[in-house]
């Protein structure tokens, strides 16, 4: 019984600890990078590129093959040992070992190795880009949770004030100071706020669920992020020129790197295709031997032993093979033309990637600056709305204004508070995007 109680207490403790787990942004990003399916698929592409590089290196090695056969012959057949027709039943065997090496093929092996190395680099760039995309997505989802959480807190605080006003107004209505309509107006406001709270709770849950699924967590129902009160991050990056950020982004962001590597791969493919114009020269060396059951020593009349036949009827071959392409129905020429088209296509894609990056960075720069202005304006509006609300509350408390005017002022103040939260996290995320283009980590919110 004691053991059962101990196990229950232990399991309860584990459950409580699981509930108490609060994920930081760094933990979320790191977990996503280690477990995201898209990243794992990109890692497989890197593994394939490594295999292809190893294969390209192996192409420089000679080949070595062995073969053997065993036959039972009936009727008229050529004896493999004597090369004579024999109308008899006999058994025969042969074996050989051969080696070949590519001496010259237009440097195709060397260019294939160069291409494999380029493709290896391109695969790493694609993997890094996938990691960057996932990191940005996780950061945005994380900030969305923080926004929804603060939005919920504001709504709950507003509703608490409304409930307090209902209590106070009830007393004034009972005393005959305020009309019943003011109390009904406040109760209607309370009901509306409760609906907003439910919607905010649902939005918070959905945002947590989305991030938990991105992280591939099964216990998404208890998933939560850190309760730290994140302030605004430093905006030093806004003090830099947009052109400076663009040049830095070309070094840091993988989109242009991928396009550049694809262009180099297309050029290497063109070089590889042109190697088909060249003749190829290969060398070979081989050893073979054979045996037949009907071989008789002409001096003794006895069968020649198996091992002796292997020595008697063996042979070697050494040589060179030259292949000169003369006419292949213009296949090589057309393949070269196709490769040239792909080079031009890749060149345009590289230019487009550079233009897109420049446009994206300038847009991100302006978005960050405008979001800062929007946040500062929202703070000023909130301050003014708060003063107006406090003034309206004072007038309402002493019976100098009605509930409708009071609710109008409060609604304006609530909207101003919501705008502050929205513009704050919009500003934070756009700053992080701009910092990302400048090569700064996106996992630090402090």
SS3 82: coil
Whether 272 and 255 share a structural domain: yes
pLDDT bucket at 9, cuts 50 / 70 / 90:
very low
| Sign of the dihedral defined by the CA atoms of residues 298, 301, 306, 308, in that order | negative
Q: What local confidence, expressed as pLDDT, does residue 18 receive?
A: 45
Whether 171 and 303 share a structural domain: no
**Is 12 a domain residue?**
no
Radius of gyration of the CA atoms of the chain, in A: 40
Among 5-14, 208-217, 289-298, 405-414, which is the least confidently predicted range?
5-14
User: How crowded is residue 288: how many other Cβ atoms within 10 Å of its Cβ?
Assistant: 16
Q: What local confidence, expressed as pLDDT, does residue 139 receive?
A: 87
C-alpha closest to that of 444 among 21, 28, 20, 22? 28
| Sign of the dihedral defined by the CA atoms of residues 127, 233, 428, 215, in that order | positive
CA 411/CA 185 separation, integer angstroms: 13
CA 322/CA 73 separation, integer angstroms: 37
Q: Does the pLDDT at position 242 exceed 60?
A: yes
Size of the chain, expressed as the number of residues it contains: 446
Whether 202 and 313 share a structural domain: no
SS3 329: coil
Q: What local confidence, expressed as pLDDT, does residue 303 receive?
A: 74
359-415 pLDDT tens trace: 989 998 998 889 889 999 999 999 998 899 888 888 877 777 777 787 788 888 888
CA 211/CA 145 separation, integer angstroms: 9
Whether 207 and 74 share a structural domain: no
Whether 120 and 200 share a structural domain: yes
C-alpha closest to that of 159 among 198, 202, 204, 203? 198
Look up the CATH number of the domain holding residue 226.
1.20.1600.10
Q: What local confidence, expressed as pLDDT, does residue 20 receive?
A: 55
Instruction: Give residue for tokens 């609604």.
Output: 411
Last residue of a domain, one of 324, 348, 382: 324
Q: Does the pLDDT at position 198 exceed 60?
A: yes
Whether 305 and 398 share a structural domain: no
Phi-psi region of 352 (alpha: psi -120 to 50; beta: other; left: phi over 0): alpha
pLDDT bucket at 191, cuts 50 / 70 / 90:
very high
CA 159/CA 156 separation, integer angstroms: 5
Whether 167 and 252 share a structural domain: yes
Looking only at the bridges linking them, the beta strands covering 280-292 and 76-78 are: unpaired
Whether 297 and 359 share a structural domain: no
**Is 445 a domain residue?**
no
Q: How many domains does the chain have?
A: 2
Q: What local confidence, expressed as pLDDT, does residue 177 receive?
A: 73
Measured in whole angstroms, the distance separating CA 255 from the mean position of its chain's CA atoms is: 13
Q: What local confidence, expressed as pLDDT, does residue 14 receive?
A: 44
C-alpha closest to that of 90 among 288, 287, 290, 307? 290
Q: What local confidence, expressed as pLDDT, does residue 399 receive?
A: 73
CA 297/CA 305 separation, integer angstroms: 9
**Is 15 a domain residue?**
no
Strand (E) or helix (H) holding 138? helix 108-174
265-296 pLDDT tens trace: 999 999 999 988 989 899 999 999 887 776 66
**Is 34 a domain residue?**
yes
CA 183/CA 188 separation, integer angstroms: 9
Q: Does the pLDDT at position 346 exceed 80?
A: yes
Q: What local confidence, expressed as pLDDT, does residue 83 receive?
A: 64
**Is 30 a domain residue?**
yes
* Residue 312 belongs to domain spanning: 69-101+288-324
Most confident of 161-175, 210-224, 374-388: 374-388
Q: What local confidence, expressed as pLDDT, does residue 414 receive?
A: 83
The percentage of the chain sitting over the pLDDT mark of 90, rounded to a whole number, equals 26
Q: Does the pLDDT at position 435 exceed 90?
A: no
Q: What local confidence, expressed as pLDDT, does residue 169 receive?
A: 79
Among 16-20, 312-316, 326-330, which is the least confidently predicted range?
16-20
**Is 253 a domain residue?**
yes
CA 429/CA 368 separation, integer angstroms: 9
pLDDT bucket at 340, cuts 50 / 70 / 90:
very high
Q: Average pLDDT for residues 169-191, to the nearest whole number?
A: 82
Q: What local confidence, expressed as pLDDT, does residue 53 receive?
A: 92
246 Cβ contact partners less than 8 Å away, ≥ 6 residues apart: 357, 358, 361, 362
Among 19-33, 230-244, 388-402, 428-442, which is the least confidently predicted range?
230-244
Whether 310 and 188 share a structural domain: no
Q: What local confidence, expressed as pLDDT, does residue 233 receive?
A: 60
Q: Does the pLDDT at position 261 exceed 90?
A: yes
Among 57-61, 75-79, 330-334, 363-367, which is the least confidently predicted range?
75-79
**Is 266 a domain residue?**
yes
**Is 413 a domain residue?**
yes
pLDDT bucket at 444, cuts 50 / 70 / 90:
low
Mean pLDDT of the chain: 83
CA 225/CA 144 separation, integer angstroms: 11
Last residue of a domain, one of 324, 350, 380: 324
Q: Average pLDDT for residues 329-346, to the nearest whole number?
A: 91
Q: What local confidence, expressed as pLDDT, does residue 81 receive?
A: 57
CA 129/CA 255 separation, integer angstroms: 7
Whether 237 and 319 share a structural domain: no
Whether 424 and 407 share a structural domain: yes
pLDDT bucket at 431, cuts 50 / 70 / 90:
confident
Whether 132 and 85 share a structural domain: no
75-132 pLDDT tens trace: 666 666 566 666 667 677 888 999 999 988 888 889 999 999 999 999 999 999 999 8
pLDDT bucket at 11, cuts 50 / 70 / 90:
very low
């Amino acid at each position: 019984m004691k053991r059962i109680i101990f196990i229950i207490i232990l399991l309860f403790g584990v459950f409580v600890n699981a509930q108490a787990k609060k994920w930081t942004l760094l933990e979320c990003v790191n977990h996503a990078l280690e477990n995201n399916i898209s990243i794992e698929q990109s890692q497989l592409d890197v593994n394939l590129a490594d295999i292809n590089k190893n294969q390209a290196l192996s192409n420089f090695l000679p080949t070595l093959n062995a073969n053997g056969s065993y036959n039972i012959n009936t009727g008229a057949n050529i004896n493999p040992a004597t090369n004579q027709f024999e109308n008899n039943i006999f058994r025969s065997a042969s074996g050989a070992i051969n080696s070949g090496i590519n001496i010259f093929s237009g440097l195709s092996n060397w260019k294939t190795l160069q291409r494999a190395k380029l493709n290896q680099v391109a695969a790493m760039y694609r993997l890094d880009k996938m990691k960057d995309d996932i990191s940005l997505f996780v950061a945005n989802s994380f900030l969305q949770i923080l926004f929804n959480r603060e939005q919920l807190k504001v709504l709950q605080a507003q509703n608490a004030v409304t409930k307090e006003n209902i209590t106070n107004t009830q007393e004034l209505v009972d005393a005959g100071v305020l009309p019943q309509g003011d109390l009904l107006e406040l109760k209607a406001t309370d009901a509306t706020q409760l609906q907003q709270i439910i919607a905010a709770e649902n939005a918070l849950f959905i945002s947590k669920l989305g991030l938990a699924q991105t992280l591939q967590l099964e216990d998404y129902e208890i998933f939560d992020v850190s309760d730290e009160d994140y302030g605004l991050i430093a905006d030093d990056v806004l003090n830099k020129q947009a052109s400076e950020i663009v040049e830095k982004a070309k070094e840091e962001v993988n989109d242009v790197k991928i396009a550049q590597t694809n262009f180099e791969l297309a050029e290497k493919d063109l070089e590889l295709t042109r190697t088909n114009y060249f003749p190829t020269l290969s060398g070979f060396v081989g050893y073979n031997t054979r045996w037949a059951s009907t071989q008789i020593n002409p001096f003794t009349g006895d069968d020649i032993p198996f091992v002796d036949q292997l020595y008697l009827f063996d042979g070697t071959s050494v040589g060179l093979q030259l292949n000169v392409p003369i006419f292949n129905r213009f296949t090589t020429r057309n393949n070269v033309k196709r490769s040239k088209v792909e080079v031009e296509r890749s060149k345009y894609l590289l230019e487009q990637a550079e233009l897109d990056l420049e446009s994206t960075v300038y847009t991100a720069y302006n978005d960050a600056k405008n979001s800062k202005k929007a946040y500062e304006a929202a703070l000023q509006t909130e301050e003014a709305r708060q003063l107006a609300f406090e003034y309206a509350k004072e007038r309402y408390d002493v019976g100098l204004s009605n509930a409708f005017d009071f609710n109008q002022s409060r609604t304006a103040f609530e909207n101003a508070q919501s705008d502050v939260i929205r513009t704050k996290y919009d500003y934070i995320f756009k700053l992080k995007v701009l910092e990302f283009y400048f090569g700064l980590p996106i996992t630090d919110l402090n």
